[in-house]
Amino acid sequence: MRAFVVTKYKGALQESNVPEPTVGERDVLVQVQAAGLNMLDEKIRAGEFKQILPYRLPLIAGNDVAGTVIRVGSKVRAFKPGDEVYARPGQDRIGTFAERIAIAEADLALKPASISMEEAGSLPLVALTAWQALVERGNVGPGQKVLIHAGAGGVGSIAIQLAKHLGATVATTASASNMDFVRDLGADTVIDYRSQDFEQLLSGYDVVLDSLGGGNLEKSLRVLKPGGKAIGIAGPPDPAFAREAGLNPVLRLAISGLSAGIRRQARKLGVSYEFLFMRASGDQLRQITALIDGGALRPVVGRVFPFGQTIEALEGLEKGGIRGKAVISNP
């Protein structure tokens, strides 16, 4: 079947003819009709995660999928051929830039009925990231104050809506051209990151969702109230992540060193820092589906590319300028 493959780190994505997926007894074979593009795809191609996510090359790229079930394994009970579904496959089974993919039943959910296949394909990774950051890690609830960086991006555009649904007051950073857009998503306070310094304007926040890292993360610690939490999805990874990933002791020590500085700064300020690398979850996607079909969340698709333009689409991702998500479509 046709697929787009990482053959070597830092090399260009390659179109290839690859074997059909193997379907295990608890797997679901899905015809890929839409696949979201994520910066994670580009970082994997560039080898940025090769030490902590030991993929075997060649690797079919792609972390988001929406499509139709073709067949199911012998022990699958929740899905049947013809079902419209969506998922973020488990991190060891990615590969959505292909015509078909086999996905573990536990990672899959029925597609929200109220949205298109392209909209569904844009959602799993960013919606699960927002859910795990704000619901699981942040315990966000009514009356809390949440800062979400890069509000017009893939994660940010969903996280703003989710935080508002949870009852929080939401601040976000965005460019001047996107200020009305993020307000429409529900942001109460919008900071123009080019002309304003969020650290000078915000204080007393319960949770910060940081997708930028570096100096932005350091400044984010200082807008938190005592006991507040910064959740980083751009890194640096922390010791808890290393343990959960089952990394060897040498790598655990190295990762501990990467985040030692930011964790030390957080302790001095009486706040905390956690790294989040989202995990696949069909159960959480079902809860997200209910929010979408109930009108609490809406996907934001900024651009749709045909399947044949996957290479160009991924290459263009770093240029930015797309609100929400870019999606590959193969109807």
If pLDDT is split at 50, 70 and 90, which confidence band does 247 have? confident
Q: Is residue 25 classed exposed, middle or buried when 0-12, 13-18 and 19+ CB atoms within 10 A define those classes? A: exposed
- β-pair partners for 98: 3
Residues 151-161 have a mean pLDDT of 97
Asked whether residue 54 carries a pLDDT value surpassing 90, the answer given is no
Instruction: Looking at the structure, tell me whether residues 11 and 53 fall in a common domain.
Output: yes
Instruction: Looking at the structure, tell me whether residues 203 and 96 fall in a common domain.
Output: no
For residue 8, the domain's CATH number is 3.90.180.10
Domain count, the chain: 2
Tell me if 144 is assigned to some domain. Answer: yes
Tell me if 280 is assigned to some domain. Answer: no
Residues 115-134 have a mean pLDDT of 98
pLDDT the model gives residue 107? 98
As a whole-number percent, the residues of the chain with pLDDT over 70 amount to 100
Q: Give strand ranges (E) for the chain.
A: 2-6, 14-17, 27-37, 59-60, 65-72, 84-87, 100-104, 108-110, 145-148, 169-174, 189-192, 205-210, 224-232, 272-275, 301-306, 325-329
Tell me if 31 is assigned to some domain. Answer: yes
Conformation bin of residue 123: beta by default, left when phi > 0, alpha when psi is -120 to 50? alpha
Tell me if 282 is assigned to some domain. Answer: no
If pLDDT is split at 50, 70 and 90, which confidence band does 74 have? very high
Give DSSP secondary structure letters for 176-242.
GGGHHHHHHHT-SEEEETTT--HHHH---EEEEEESS-HHHHHHHHTTEEEEEEEEESSS---HHHH
Tell me if 7 is assigned to some domain. Answer: yes
Instruction: Looking at the structure, tell me whether residues 159 and 251 fall in a common domain.
Output: yes
pLDDT the model gives residue 37? 97
Q: Encode pLDDT of 196-211 as tens digits.
A: 999 999 999 999 999 9
Say whether 116 sits in a helix, a strand or coil: coil
> How many Cβ atoms from other residues are within 10 Å of residue 82's Cβ?
8
Residues 81-109 have a mean pLDDT of 97
pLDDT the model gives residue 320? 81
pLDDT the model gives residue 178? 97
Tell me if 268 is assigned to some domain. Answer: yes
For residue 248, the domain's CATH number is 3.40.50.720
Instruction: Looking at the structure, tell me whether residues 130 and 242 fall in a common domain.
Output: yes
Asked whether residue 265 carries a pLDDT value surpassing 80, the answer given is yes
Q: Encode pLDDT of 127-154 as tens digits.
A: 999 999 999 999 999 999 999 999 999 9
Instruction: Looking at the structure, tell me whether residues 106 and 163 fall in a common domain.
Output: no
pLDDT the model gives residue 52? 76
Angstrom CA distances, 255 to 233, 235, 241, 268, stand at 15, 10, 9, 20
If pLDDT is split at 50, 70 and 90, which confidence band does 158 have? very high
Instruction: Looking at the structure, tell me whether residues 129 and 112 fall in a common domain.
Output: no
CA-based nearest residue to 59, from 49, 68, 69, 67: 49
The two tokens of residue 76 are 């699958």
Instruction: Looking at the structure, tell me whether residues 57 and 149 fall in a common domain.
Output: no
Tell me if 288 is assigned to some domain. Answer: no
Average pLDDT, the chain: 96
If pLDDT is split at 50, 70 and 90, which confidence band does 64 have? very high
> What is the reported pTM?
0.96
pLDDT the model gives residue 201? 98
Query: Domain limits at 167?
Result: 125-275
Instruction: Looking at the structure, tell me whether residues 52 and 148 fall in a common domain.
Output: no
If pLDDT is split at 50, 70 and 90, which confidence band does 251 have? confident
CB 254 within 8 A of CB 235: no
Instruction: Looking at the structure, tell me whether residues 193 and 151 fall in a common domain.
Output: yes
CB 304 within 8 A of CB 260: no
To the nearest 10 degrees (0 to 180), the angle between helices 154-165 and 124-131 is: 40
pLDDT the model gives residue 49? 82
Instruction: Looking at the structure, tell me whether residues 51 and 168 fall in a common domain.
Output: no
Instruction: Looking at the structure, tell me whether residues 134 and 231 fall in a common domain.
Output: yes
CB 96 within 8 A of CB 64: yes
Instruction: Looking at the structure, tell me whether residues 91 and 140 fall in a common domain.
Output: no
First-residue to last-residue Cα distance in the chain: 15
Tell me if 103 is assigned to some domain. Answer: yes
If pLDDT is split at 50, 70 and 90, which confidence band does 319 have? confident
